[in-house]
Chains A and B, each alone.
Chain A
Amino acid sequence: MTAQRIALRVAVVVTVVLLQVCLINRMRLPLGAPDLLVVVVVAFALIGGSQRGAVLGFLAGLTADVLPPTHHYAGELAFAYTVIGYLAGMLDAGEESSVLTIITVVAGASVGVVLLYAGLGDLLGNARITAGATLHALAGTVVYDVVLAPFVVPLVSAAARRLEPVGSR
């Protein structure tokens, strides 16, 4: 993977995280907030495969770990998104995914990323991780992500295809 590609991915990921903290989290929607990052990671992984999915997931998580405001150990989100990127990439069929596939994968990825983060946080003694808080996080994240997925995933996939043709992998 060339430096240029890495830079491109970092730019995408930073933009998404900035959108998340400056706009989405500000809205204070009922039930919670969508996690745009996991939708974007899934979109990339679905056309790029597990290796690219894992790398993008790592970059995404690390950015979300250090970009203010955060208050947890750096690496926690990186861990969760890496696993999700890798797993989503394994489903890469090399062709256009149907809306149903996209929704299913995004729903699964949202559940997975929240549970991974919660599990790791619990191991590290994070007092915020309780059963109630986890259920709350799951409900908000999954519902909104599923709503966003049919719009965001094709958009990101199309952009990614244009920027780096699949054949070059």
Chain B
Amino acid sequence: MRNARRARLVLTMLLLTAFTLITLDYRSGALGGVRKVASAVFGPIEDGINAVVQPIGSWFSGLGHLGTYKHENETLHRQVAKLQTQLRLNATEHQEYLQEQKLLHLAGLAQYTSVAARVTAYGGAFGFESTVAIDRGSDNGIQRNETVISGAGLVGRVVSVGPHTATVQLANDSEFTVGARLSTGTLAVASVTGEGRGEPMSLTLLENTVRLAVGQQLVTFSSGPGGPFVPEVPVGTITRVTPASGQVAQSASVRPFVNFSSLDVVAVVVHSPKTIPHDALLPKSPTPAPTVTVTVTATPGAPTTPPGTPTGTGTPADTSTNTATNRSRTP
């Protein structure tokens, strides 16, 4: 009986402690420090474990998706056939699309300074949460709220940072919302929200002058420098428009460009540009790249050596004549 009473006392104390922690964290985020310490201690361990288990995990993951892969393969075959026909039909339209894609990419890669990181651990909380840990942190210049991207587009945002680790809230997390605009040039700003793992994201557009259509692409929109997201990062494609008659808001489903279940390497944008590249989509003349100097350094000395320097002229001259003869022989 004494034991039971003591157990109840312990339970009460522990629950009170838990409530105190929740209250502190809720009111002021006072436990950020504890999180920082935890990530400082456990981040490197997670990196180490990740190096070992990554192949195992991928294997298991592949096993789990075996059926999906088979189905996906079929679907992809059909899609390829369909796309090939489409490609022939509207080659010009496709060209435009490719250019747009490239420009979006340029906007991302040329103007943003980013830190590449590897995903080391996956959050869960019974599947409610969609978060990952990455192996770069404040020591690498990463700060809270910074945008995380991958080659495909928007991955998420940094929600907490340790010295060598950061936690990223993925864009498909239900508490994730980002401002986005249609990539077609119309400046209608919609909000795109995650709907949980494996679900398409949802879009709300508080405007009725712009019509949403399936296939339209979305990029992030930033209200200004220092905003939570860097602008012009590809988010996803509209897959379904919910018909809304006589309503002010329009809504749609968005399939994200990024596959959140197979993230490996991501990039954290650590410096957003000073000005928003609003017209990044417009066919601006690209800055001329340094082109000529490359060939000169490839064969140093051979033709340009001033007379009177005898050393080192032998081999480059030989190679150049070799290539010349090769070239003349080929046709």
Contact = CB atoms under 8 A, between A and B. Distances in A.
- Place the interface of chain A in its size category: 35 or more
B214 interface: no
A66 interface: yes
B42 A68 contact: yes
Interface in A69-86: 69-79, 82-83, 86
Contacts of A25: 121-124
Contacts of A64: 125
Contacts of A128: 128-129, 173-175, 196
A69 B35 CA distance: 10
A73 B7 CA distance: 26
A127 interface: yes
Contacts of A73: 21-22, 25-26, 31
B64 A72 contact: no
B126 A117 contact: yes
Nearest to B53: A23
A18 interface: yes
B18 A68 contact: no
Interface string A6-50: 000000001000101111011111101101000000000000011
Given A51-B3, A89-B7, A128-B173, A75 B126 contact: no
A57 B10 CA distance: 12
By DSSP majority rule, is chain B's interface helix, strand, loop, or mixed? Answer: helix
B14 A68 contact: no
Given A27-B57, A58-B14, A67-B42, A32 B127 contact: yes
B238 interface: no
A96 B10 CA distance: 25
A126 B11 CA distance: 25
A68 B127 contact: no
A137 B39 contact: no
A129 interface: yes
A28 B172 CA distance: 15
Given A21-B121, A32-B127, A26 B57 contact: yes
A124 interface: yes
Contacts of A75: 17-22, 25
Contact of B121 (A22, A51, A113, A121): A22
Interface string B227-259: 000000000000000000000000000000000
Between B18, B160, B196, the greatest number of chain A beta carbons within 10 A of the residue's beta carbon is seen for: B18
Interface string B43-66: 101100110011011101100110
A107 interface: no
Interface of B: 3-4, 6-7, 10-11, 14-15, 17-22, 25-26, 31, 34-35, 38-39, 42-43, 45-46, 49-50, 53-54, 56-58, 60-61, 64-65, 120-129, 131-133, 159-160, 162, 165-169, 173-175, 196, 261
Interface of A: 14, 18, 20-23, 25-30, 32-33, 35, 49-51, 54-55, 57-58, 61-62, 64-79, 82-83, 86, 89, 113-114, 117-118, 120-121, 124, 126-130, 133, 136-137, 140-141
26 contacts: A21-B46, A21-B124, A21-B133, A22-B49, A23-B57, A25-B122, A25-B123, A26-B61, A30-B64, A51-B6, A54-B10, A55-B14, A61-B18, A66-B38, A67-B42, A69-B121, A69-B123, A69-B168, A73-B31, A74-B25, A75-B17, A86-B7, A89-B7, A117-B128, A133-B174, A141-B127
Given A62-B21, A89-B7, A117-B125, 5 more contacts: A22-B49, A22-B50, A51-B7, A51-B11, A71-B160
